[in-house]
Amino acid sequence: MKVLFAGTPAVAVPSLNALVEAGFDVASVLTRPDAPLGRKRVLTPSPVAARAAELGIPTIKAARVDAAATAAIEAVAPDVAAIVAYGGIVPRAALDVPRHGWVNLHFSLLPAWRGAAPVQRAIIAGDDVTGAATFQLEEGLDTGPVFGTVTETVRGSDTAGDLLERLSLSGSVLLSQTLSAIEAGHAAPQPQQGDVSLAPKLTLDDGRLDWKQPALALARRSRGVTPEPGAWTTLDGQRVKLEPVELHPDVTDLEPGHVTVQGKALLVGTGSHAVRLGRIQPAGKKMMPSADWARGLATPESVVFE
């Protein structure tokens, strides 16, 4: 079965590897164009494009699936298209090209968390269990019938990056199994059932910590926005970046946003009990342990995050 693989970020690479290792004829890869990275803004291929080059698979680089990209897909003449975090909408004209359609690996248990940031939103919401699903791509937002799912427990220390890495591996196996079932004629996708929740793309504002919220909500949010867009607060009107905070329930008398040093721990008050800061990046400086930053302050107790 000839496969077109569509994907862009690093979390899509395990799926590309899995399809190649399973013996599918991955005839071409659709990915987003090279993007400027780093301080020197060097044009750099996407992780999927880089892996495709290593595997000797030709690529179609397109910021969106327009008429030109659709024509390139038609030239490949795939039997099926597998898509994992490509980063763009697939219009009807392109959906109709493969005879088996497009199979999307999505990192949630649909219909929960339809959208661009399912893992991040699941952690922020405090879900205990999430997973990945393969489904038939339609024009609606992650609405198609589901082929199969895998589940994954959300650990108390998981950042979005940690959880996505695990799901990218288990999901790659699920995607390969789904395509094998399609090839064998055994696939039977089922309509989605259950409550729908939406997972829009995170913005910078999603990373801002509101110290009046309970500590547990702040810990979840800080983990859900790590590594991108990252947790942050403000101090003296300047943005301060933070790594995930940890619960410190023994201290309950700190006002929201107020700071104190306890041993080697830098604590911040919240709407419930304190949280412990991990690493911190003040404006214009590098990321550093919060205890090191606190040692450089004349009076840490005078610090109030906003």
All structural domains of the chain, each given as residue ranges with its CATH number in brackets, are 2-184 (3.40.50.170), 204-302 (3.10.25.10)
Q: How far is it, in rounded angstroms, from Cα 158 to Cα 163? A: 6
Q: How far is it, in rounded angstroms, from Cα 134 to Cα 83? A: 10
Position 232, amino acid = W
Q: pLDDT tens digits, residue range 108-119?
A: 999 999 999 999
What is the pLDDT, as a whole number, of residue 33?
Answer: 96
> Is residue 302 very low, low, confident or very high in pLDDT (cuts 50, 70, 90)?
confident
% of the chain surpassing 90 pLDDT: 92
Whether 236 has a pLDDT exceeding 80, the answer reads yes
Q: pLDDT tens digits, residue range 85-126?
A: 999 999 999 999 999 999 999 999 999 999 999 999 999 999
pTM, entire model: 0.95
Mean pLDDT of the chain: 96
Q: CA 207 → CA 45, 204, 221, 239, 304, distances in Å?
A: 27, 6, 7, 11, 18
> Is residue 283 very low, low, confident or very high in pLDDT (cuts 50, 70, 90)?
confident
What is the pLDDT, as a whole number, of residue 304?
Answer: 93
Whether 53 has a pLDDT exceeding 80, the answer reads yes
